[in-house]
Amino acid sequence: MLICGTAGDSGSASHPRSPSHPATPPSFAGLVLVGVAVAVGSACDGEGVSIEAGVPPAVAVRVIPDGASVSGVEGTAVFRLEALDAEGRKIPSPEVSWSSLNPKVATVDHQGVARALMSGQATITAEVDGVVGSGVLTVSVPDAEPVTSWTVSWRGAVLEGVWGTSPDDVFAVGEEGVILHYDGGGWKEMEGGTHEFLFNVWGSAPDDVFIVGHDGTILHYDGTTWVSVAAGTSNGLKAVWGASPEEVFAVGYNGTVLRFDGTTWGPMASGTSLILHGAWGTSRRDIFAVGLSGTILHNDGEEWRPMASGTSAHLQEVWGVWGSSLGEVTVVGLYGAILHGRR
């Protein structure tokens, strides 16, 4: 027997968003209201929530692990999930929908087995009762053919940042608000609505891309249009990286660190006033930020903590490959500084 109804104004849990923009789990109180509405609501009208009688709806979904890596094309990683009800109890055998937000990097099947297709990162999501959890899959291809020649494909403004989902979906940003997109055939300028210097670009999917820049500039792309987003700061933002559409981080001048929760950007305490130039991570609980005077910060999902770098060089970028037993992170900076970290 199925009991169906709608949540009305109690929240958005009864109206799941698309996989590229998963819904943020509602508050505990909101979920209690949704549960009551489902229990006593009218018959399904095509927009209501349907749950099996006697099985409480999920209020939280946790993907395990929240960060994994594979080496080589066709490599696989297995993700599983825990779905919890409003009492914090695990829901046995929940009906789950798995998805990859960057299927050109990796796909995932109905059992949570992700398969690598090319180097990069893909957010793997699991949805239960409209509630979404996510993990990050990092793919490296050590036996890829080396680059042997370069071709100039565009000339114009100074460009500062580049990111893409695949060889035919690449974004580049730079001075005077320039935004370029490469579709496999050539570079085309995009209208971003700003003339600020844009420093960095990152996205979870082709239709969920962020750009950060001077004077607290943040732009978001939904696959069609770039829209300016309130950052709550006038400090310049130098880098952006995220673990999912609801776990995005931006860093910049005066030690600024911002976190996006899927709805709004808010400040985080960094413990430094120095410029942070780069950010990268393997999951929402494993994020690095680097900057002036050898600054390296690490976030474990709770707070940012400094790490000893052994150098005073200005660090610009951070990148790495993480594994279940061995993690490697590389940081580069001015004057030829290269730092290599292992767990």
pLDDT in tens, the chain (343 residues): 444 444 444 333 333 444 444 444 444 333 333 333 333 333 444 444 444 557 899 999 999 999 999 999 999 999 999 999 999 999 999 999 999 999 999 999 999 999 999 999 999 999 999 999 999 999 988 877 888 888 888 888 899 999 999 999 999 999 999 999 999 999 999 999 999 999 999 999 999 999 999 999 999 999 999 999 999 999 999 999 999 999 999 999 999 999 999 999 999 999 999 999 999 999 999 999 999 999 999 999 999 999 999 999 999 888 765 443 446 788 888 877 888 787 6
Based on the fold, state whether residues 215 and 298 are members of the same structural domain. Answer: yes
In a domain, 154, yes or no: no
Based on the fold, state whether residues 319 and 170 are members of the same structural domain. Answer: yes
pLDDT of residue 342: 75
Angle of CA points 11, 17, 23, to nearest 5°: 60
What are the strands of the beta sheet with 315-322, ordered from one edge?
315-322, 327-333, 338-342
Q: Which two tokens stand for residue 196?
A: 């600020």
pLDDT of residue 141: 87
Please give the tally of structural domains in the chain: 2
Based on the fold, state whether residues 221 and 73 are members of the same structural domain. Answer: no
In a domain, 296, yes or no: yes
Asked if the bond preceding 65 is cis, omega within 30° of 0, the reply is yes
pLDDT of residue 176: 96
Based on the fold, state whether residues 130 and 64 are members of the same structural domain. Answer: yes
Buried b (16+ CB within 10 A) or exposed e, 293-313: ebbbbbbeeeebeeeebebeb
In a domain, 257, yes or no: yes
In a domain, 326, yes or no: yes
Based on the fold, state whether residues 46 and 80 are members of the same structural domain. Answer: yes
Query: Element (H or E) spanning 237, and its range?
Result: strand 237-244
Contacts of 82 (CB under 8 A, 6+ apart): 61, 62, 64, 90
Based on the fold, state whether residues 43 and 134 are members of the same structural domain. Answer: yes
**How many CB atoms lie under 10 A from the CB of residue 18?**
11
CATH number at residue 292: 2.130.10.10
Which pTM does this prediction carry? 0.77
pLDDT of residue 338: 82
pLDDT of residue 318: 84
Residue ending a domain, among 109, 140, 171, is 140
Based on the fold, state whether residues 31 and 118 are members of the same structural domain. Answer: yes
Measured CA to CA in angstroms, residue 122 lies from 4, 68, 101, 126, 203 at distances of 34, 10, 6, 13, 10
CATH number at residue 40: 2.60.40.1080
What helix, strand, coil percent values describe the chain, rounded to 5?
Answer: 10, 50, 45
In a domain, 145, yes or no: no
In a domain, 229, yes or no: yes
Based on the fold, state whether residues 49 and 190 are members of the same structural domain. Answer: no
Measured CA to CA in angstroms, residue 38 lies from 97, 197, 231 at distances of 21, 49, 37
Based on the fold, state whether residues 287 and 315 are members of the same structural domain. Answer: yes
The residue segments making up the domain with residue 278 are 159-342
pLDDT of residue 332: 84
Based on the fold, state whether residues 90 and 163 are members of the same structural domain. Answer: no
